[in-house]
Chains A and B, each alone.
Chain A
Amino acid sequence: MSSAELKERLARDLPGVLMPTRTRTPTSNGGEAAAGDGKTARPKRGEHAPVDLLATDDAVVYPDRLPEVARYVRDVLGYQLLSNITAVDYLVDGVIEMVYHFFHLDGGPELVIKTRVPRDNPVVPSLTDEWPGANLQEREAFDLFGVVFPGHPNLTRIYMWDEFEGWPMRKDFPKQGDKYFGESEE
């Protein structure tokens, strides 16, 4: 099922779950460009238009409606296997995006559902009670990105130790390169 068809079905069966998003506009050379604001001046040769990271064609749902959408995808559309949960950190836009991949058990392409939460308060409802396989992947997102999943049975760190502080996979986590500390720093 293509993402356009999924968005159509969601808008028809579950009104109000889709978050309004900017769609990606294909360029003449087959690539993707940011959706302009009407005045699409063709960039010069070698120049690139600014990339709109948040533009997507996939279905982006509101986080509080996510379990409902997941159940709809499982029970109505038949995508029973929740294969992958991951988080993406858009530092500049202040957004953390959760990406869910669902599969049919008898094969076929995946179905992508995304949800977006503000970076300073990332709270996404847990899918663990319906898909036990989501347990570890949500713990991973909590450990590395700091996304909180209400309803998760055991939301603790999984890669790092419990005493660790910080979210290592976020874009603003400091890199540990060798450098001298000047007297003015520290």
Chain B
Amino acid sequence: MSDDRDIQLEAEKQGVFLTTMQRFYNWGRRSSVWPLSFGLACCAIEMMATGLARFDLARFGAEMFRASPRQADLMIVAGTVTKKMAPQVVRLYNQMPEPRYVISMGACATSGGPFRDGYNVLRGIDLLIPVDVYIPGCPPRPEALLHALMTLQKQIDAQRLNRVRWYGKREAKEYPVPAFGKHGLEIDGKLVDPVGGLPLISPYTSPTHGEMRSGEIEHPELVRHFPIMDETVELESPNKAKGVAPEIRHNDLKRPAVEVDHARDEQR
């Protein structure tokens, strides 16, 4: 590939422009990612600031905030997704034409953030729709959003046209819109975001992995010390681990063990 690039650069000096169809096509798409004009909370203010002159999203060709999901490529989930708002977010995502991408902006959209233990906040938009880039921070600065956009552009650059899911013969997939239930959001009568239970990884993995649950963790070389990321934990449902936490089962509560002398007690 690097040989190709050298040859290309040499040829460009001579006035001949060579490229591969794939690079050309990806270059065109990644340089005009149009976000959906849609925000939910304080992160949306940062998103607006990113679009304004000081940070200037227009440098990346992404300043065209479209008011209609039919004209947008990118959904920036900016802000706290409450359970009351989540069905509308999924509906907007379903209305976007493919190829479509999602940036989960800030702690709330990624995991529920500081409101994770509350009663009306969805614990991460990736429970419902696939997310390409997550931005940490509360709120992320505009630079972080620009970085996320550049990361997304790298992802698009790396796509191969014969492998990307939306150019195959696959039927377009509708993501199920959750319904309001008695204790939270429900899909097919099952709670999406149950009290307790552990969301292990998102049910929808990133586009490079296809739409199937791969079950693989992004960085298998990293040792995870969380039971939540432990592959050996048996699942009761896609979002819920089975049984008792290993620490509790082994009574490993990081306290000095108190030796109890039962024989002495019986003698009394």
Binding site for B on A (CB under 8 A): 159-166, 168, 173-183
Which one, B84, B195, B240, contacts A176 given CB within 8 A?
B195
Q: How many residues of B contact A (CB 8 A)?
A: 22
Q: Which chain A positions have C-beta within 8 A of B180?
A: 161-164
Main secondary structure of the interface of B (DSSP, over half): loop
Contact B84 A180 (CB under 8 A): no
B binding-site residues for A, Cβ under 8 Å: 84, 116-120, 123, 180-183, 195-198, 228, 240-241, 243-245, 248
Extra contacts, 5 of them, besides A163-B182, A180-B196 (Cβ < 8 A), are: A159-B84, A176-B195, A178-B116, A179-B196, A181-B240
How far is A164 from B116 in the complex, measured between Cα atoms in Å?
Answer: 18
> In the docked arrangement, what's the CA distance between A178 and B240, Å?
10
Which residues of the other chain, B, contact A168 by a CB distance below 8 angstroms? Answer: 119-120
Contact A160 B120 (CB under 8 A): yes
Contacting pair B198 A161 (CB below 8 A): no
| CB of A44 to closest CB in B, whole Å | 30
Kindly provide the distance from the CB of B228 to the nearest chain A CB, expressed in whole angstroms: 8
Residue contact A180 to B117, C-beta cutoff 8 Å: no
Alpha-carbon gap, A174 to B248, bound state (A): 21
Residues from chain A with Cβ under 8 Å of B197 in the complex? 178, 181
8 Å CB contact of B119 from A162, A173, A181, A183 = A173
Residues of chain A lying within 8 A (CB to CB) of residue B181: 163
Query: Are A182 and B119 in contact (CB-based, < 8 A)?
Result: no
Q: Which residue of B lies closest to A177 (CB)?
A: B117
